[in-house]
Structure 1
Amino acid sequence: MSVKKALISVSDKTGVVELARQLNELGVEIISTGGTASLLKQEGVPVIGISEVTGFPEILDGRVKTLHPNIHSGLLAVRADEAHRKQLEELNIQPIDLVIVNLYPFKQTISKPDVTYADAIENIDIGGPTMLRSAAKNHQDVTVVVDAADYATIIAEIKDAGDTTLETRRRLAAKVFRHTAAYDAIISRYLSEQVGELMPESYTVTYEKAQDLRYGENPHQRAAFYRQPLGNEGTISSAEQLHGKELSYNNINDADAALAIVNEFTEPAVVAVKHMNPCGVGIGATIKEAYEKAYAADPVSIFGGIVAANRPIDEATALLLKETFLEIIVAPDFTPEALAVLQEKKNLRLLRLSTQGSAAAPTSFKLTTVAGGALVQDFDTKQIEATDLKVATERQPSEEELKQLLFAWKVVKHVKSNAIVLANNNMTVGVGAGQMNRVGSAKIAIEQAGDLAKGAALASDAFFPMPDTVEAAAKAGITAIIQPGGSVRDQESIDACNRHGIAMVFTSVRHFKH
């Protein structure tokens, strides 16, 4: 076998003229359509128009041009099947050996802020995916290329042997079906969102590979990092790495967790994360002050951690950051002086990412895989203001206590359940995460806080099923508590707070994080 006839029809014309010219020099006849045909003719490459093959004009503004038996029979005919060959001869249909097709730019179209529904619909490719699928199905005989990165490979193989290898055709066919599946997934998501079908009967998602990773959570696990094709702004997948060694699986998870927390704050804030839990969070008048508080919150656990800031890092802050071993620093920017300081640490990863203010609303659901399935839910973007709170106790919280309660509440939302966070002076002073009972988390947070627990605010991600957490808080000198409320035994906790003079407010919102 050899490649004698190729069909080229591309929206992205990168490299297509040189490819067609090389195919022509190898004696391959080229069929082409619309704008691709015009470009090739303009560049002096001989082209057979699609209408010459189909005997039918391109109609409906180009919507129908390749959807014809003369095209798809030439793609789908099995060369080793005598009956197929005979039918082609009887109908005077020529086999097509090579298909070079890429699709209308649907993703790019709907990414435009002013895109209309009509524009989106018009950029749904029909003929392209159909040709790709036909050719890919018959990859035993037909080479199909959807990515310009593969042009050099096929040219080299055709030059060497007159045809591509079966191994290459199989690889390219698999790539085509991945490509068309991803294309259809983006279209289905867009159309489903337009009609409000947010959790339909089948849930199809697609991601694009950002990078291969050396390994996963552990060295024996394979891993790669994928980003969603739309709505990446303000996420870790859109960060620009300015310095340091390659990100790892755990780095990416931790950086994402740090970014989620720091985006809760509009004032200058710094978050330090270890194993996806915050070990220190601070806010201040400057980013330097915020970092000083985040560091002081837990100077032991921050070692080897990830730091996220919601303001540019200046030289004064960089000099402090440099004193501690950190894996990653994520910030909206770094001053030239700060960058020079931090780049002295060879392996420190510096990520530039706009995190100013609140995070942009996620454009998709949170997807968690389990063995044999997946869980899909909204991202937890629920915000609480002072006006949302219900004071449950006899004593009202003071203005300062209220400020610390709301600060702690923003943090506890991001701590693994069961979660308790203590805050004092605009910083976390104790974090209890992931315990099997709530009072256990409280005891861990109180022990970490030490004397700083006195006068602190306590936040709990879920209600108190019994008053033991209140009793532990009172013993440590905590003066204010924020929790969802809603337990059948709420009154016992309220009574305990009243006995100890603790102010307690209910949010009526739970923040479980598993």
Structure 2
Amino acid sequence: MIKRALISVSDKTGIKELGQALDHLGVELISTGGTAKMMVENGIKVKEVSEITGFPECLDGRVKTLHPAIHGGLLARREIEEHMQTLEELDIQKIDLVIINLYPFRETMEKEGVSFQEVIEQIDIGGPAMLRSAAKNHQDVTVVVDPEDYETVLAEMKAFGNTKLATRKRLAKKVFQLTSHYDTLIAEYLSKDEPVSFPEIKTMTFEKVQNLRYGENPHQQAAFYREIGSTSGTLPTARQIQGKELSFNNINDAAETLSLLQEFDEPTAVAVKHTNPCGVASAETVELAYQKAFQSDPLSIFGGIVAVNRPLNKETADQMIEIFLEVIIAPSFTPEALEVFASKPNIRLLEIPDIKVDTGTTFDMKKIAGGMLIQESDKALSEAREVPTEKKPTEKEEKDLQFAWKIVKHIKSNAIVIVKDQQTLAVGPGQTSRIWALQNALRNTSHQVKGAVMASDAFFPFPDCVEEADKHGITAIIQPGGSNRDQDSVEACDKAGISMVFTGMRHFKH
């Protein structure tokens, strides 16, 4: 039977109604500080913790519940006679129900201009200790951290005088999920200025955005989680303006689209299909950039994701609705553009106002069976340049080479991208041989690539890619270099009159 309850909450959602219901059921209530004051003001009978412990709150409230009169009442096992005798000898009364949520550490941490000490003061000590004590002893004690569970607890108390063991076990699990999440936030906050990216123990915490209908395939269950902390310019911060619910594949593709788009400052449009770019272009206006991105590969863009880095206007929207697109991302949409898209209500529109924000150092994680691979995200672009060929790139070629180099690092390896006039003409992703990547790109393009430039995500082990590029009139190549046989490719370039740039930085993407 639940006869005594301890309530101490920062989030007071529903707590007045809960306190009144417990009081009506004859439950003795114990509380602290602001929670006790609120109950008294609402006519609810309550005892201060200091009445139970016989010890006043001290150190600005840092110490108030860390006392045997509290934790003994929580941890004593009711079925063990010796435990009950000890409580009687020490004049400790059992506590059957605990309702606690923790100091607002995260909310304080995320405030603008907050000081380090202000954040540290929001590290709850007594709360987690009581929660853990109650949850450990869930055989006998009901512990609640989520206002969503108040109704269930009250309903079971009214029906049985207590909660069901299955309910207590479920609620105890939520406690340890909360305290784990809470402690991880603190650890991450204290680590944010440390130079160590990969400590011996790596804890991370995420919160669920939504359940998904399914994963990559209909037989796989899935959910979407967001990282805690600074996530400006990322997909979890997007506002969906219209369209169906995002799917697992929509989110995965959209994240890659956004990542590539953020490489560019000039008006740019990026189209992605199955996480690989299928059309990228920059131009004087976003309308023209989209036209060029669409023309890059009018076949593959069908059913793809498109993102632009300028406000999306009616003229661009008119072009976009001519084909089927799954998702369109922009920093904003003009009212006239939204009217156009309203005629296609299934198109998902995502607005990310800070779409060009540098999200800082982030990590790329790949879950494997039994472990996790974690690396820094590949945000670097080498400024080191070597031109080992007799022919040097022209100013126009140089501009296209840099454009291609930004794109190729976002393409699955082995990767080839062919560019002309700030527009992709051919993309060769995900081949086990580099020459196959190039041949597939050339085979599947509808463009004349004569006078275009080519980028490769890794070095050429053989001169075959240079020789193939020469057959099609490609005039400049950018690649990392570093092969023991670099000279073979350099000589092939010199023979063909092709310029080649070495960057010294590889961009594998597996």
TM range, smaller chain? over 0.9
Query: Is contact 2:233–2:357 with CA below 8 Å preserved after alignment?
Result: no
Q: Does 1:469 align with 2:468?
A: no
Query: Is contact 1:266–1:356 with CA below 8 Å preserved after alignment?
Result: no
For residue 34 of structure 1, what is the aligned residue in structure 2?
A: 33
| Inter-partner Cα distance in structure 1 for 2:317 and 2:23 | 59
| Inter-partner Cα distance in structure 1 for 2:309 and 2:149 | 41
Shift of 1:168: 1.3
Query: Is contact 2:244–2:348 with CA below 8 Å preserved after alignment?
Result: yes
For residue 82 of structure 1, what is the aligned residue in structure 2?
A: 81
Query: For residues 60-117 of structure 1, what are the alpha-carbon distances to aligned partners after superposition, in whole Å with 9 as ceiling and x for unaligned?
Result: 1111111111101111111122221111111111111111111111112221232322
Unaligned stretches of 5+ residues in structure 1: none
Shift of 1:299: 0.4
Query: Is contact 2:425–2:447 with CA below 8 Å preserved after alignment?
Result: no
Query: For residues 304-343 of structure 1, what are the alpha-carbon distances to aligned partners after superposition, in whole Å with 9 as ceiling and x for unaligned?
Result: 1111111121111111110110111111111111112112
| Inter-partner Cα distance in structure 2 for 1:471 and 1:149 | 67
For residue 57 of structure 2, what is the aligned residue in structure 1?
A: 58
Query: Is contact 1:306–1:329 with CA below 8 Å preserved after alignment?
Result: yes
For residue 125 of structure 2, what is the aligned residue in structure 1?
A: 126
| Inter-partner Cα distance in structure 1 for 2:141 and 2:148 | 18
Query: Structure 2 matches for 1:217-228, cutoff 5 A?
Result: 217-228=216-227
| Inter-partner Cα distance in structure 1 for 2:501 and 2:418 | 15
% identity of equivalent residues: 57
Query: Is contact 2:233–2:356 with CA below 8 Å preserved after alignment?
Result: no
Q: Does 1:10 align with 2:13?
A: no
Query: Structure 2 matches for 1:324-339, cutoff 5 A?
Result: 324-339=323-338
Shift of 1:300: 0.3
Shift of 1:451: 4.4
Cα-Cα RMSD: 1.3
What secondary structure does 1:357 align onto? coil
Greater mean deviation of Cα atoms: 175-184 or 230-239: 230-239
Shift of 1:160: 2.4
What secondary structure does 1:36 align onto? helix
What secondary structure does 2:489 align onto? helix
TM-score w.r.t. the length of structure 1 is 0.97
Query: Structure 2 matches for 1:445-460, cutoff 5 A?
Result: 445-460=441-456
Query: For residues 180-229 of structure 1, what are the alpha-carbon distances to aligned partners after superposition, in whole Å with 9 as ceiling and x for unaligned?
Result: 11111111122223343321111111111111111111111111111112
| Inter-partner Cα distance in structure 2 for 1:139 and 1:269 | 57
Q: 1:408 aligns with which of 404, 407, 410?
A: 404
Greater mean deviation of Cα atoms: 256-265 or 196-205: 196-205
What secondary structure does 1:281 align onto? strand
Query: Is contact 1:331–1:355 with CA below 8 Å preserved after alignment?
Result: no
| Inter-partner Cα distance in structure 2 for 1:367 and 1:59 | 45
| Inter-partner Cα distance in structure 2 for 1:380 and 1:168 | 45
| Inter-partner Cα distance in structure 1 for 2:148 and 2:233 | 29
What secondary structure does 2:211 align onto? strand
Q: Does 1:247 align with 2:216?
A: no
| Inter-partner Cα distance in structure 2 for 1:402 and 1:44 | 77
Greater mean deviation of Cα atoms: 470-479 or 84-93: 84-93
What secondary structure does 1:488 align onto? coil
For residue 426 of structure 1, what is the aligned residue in structure 2?
A: 422
What secondary structure does 2:192 align onto? helix
Shift of 1:269: 0.9
Size of the aligned set, in residue pairs, is: 510
For residue 383 of structure 1, what is the aligned residue in structure 2?
A: 381
For residue 138 of structure 1, what is the aligned residue in structure 2?
A: 137
What secondary structure does 1:280 align onto? strand
Query: Structure 2 matches for 1:178-257, cutoff 5 A?
Result: 178-257=177-256
Query: Is contact 2:233–2:355 with CA below 8 Å preserved after alignment?
Result: no
Query: Is contact 1:266–1:358 with CA below 8 Å preserved after alignment?
Result: no
What secondary structure does 1:452 align onto? coil
For residue 97 of structure 2, what is the aligned residue in structure 1?
A: 98
Structure 1 pair 358–66 and aligned structure 2 pair: CA distance change class (3 A): closer
Query: For residues 259-306 of structure 1, what are the alpha-carbon distances to aligned partners after superposition, in whole Å with 9 as ceiling and x for unaligned?
Result: 001111111111111110001111111111111011000000011111
For residue 368 of structure 2, what is the aligned residue in structure 1?
A: 370
For residue 268 of structure 2, what is the aligned residue in structure 1?
A: 269
Shift of 1:403: 0.7
Query: Is contact 2:382–2:504 with CA below 8 Å preserved after alignment?
Result: no
Query: For residues 39-61 of structure 1, what are the alpha-carbon distances to aligned partners after superposition, in whole Å with 9 as ceiling and x for unaligned?
Result: 22223222100111111111111
For residue 342 of structure 2, what is the aligned residue in structure 1?
A: 343
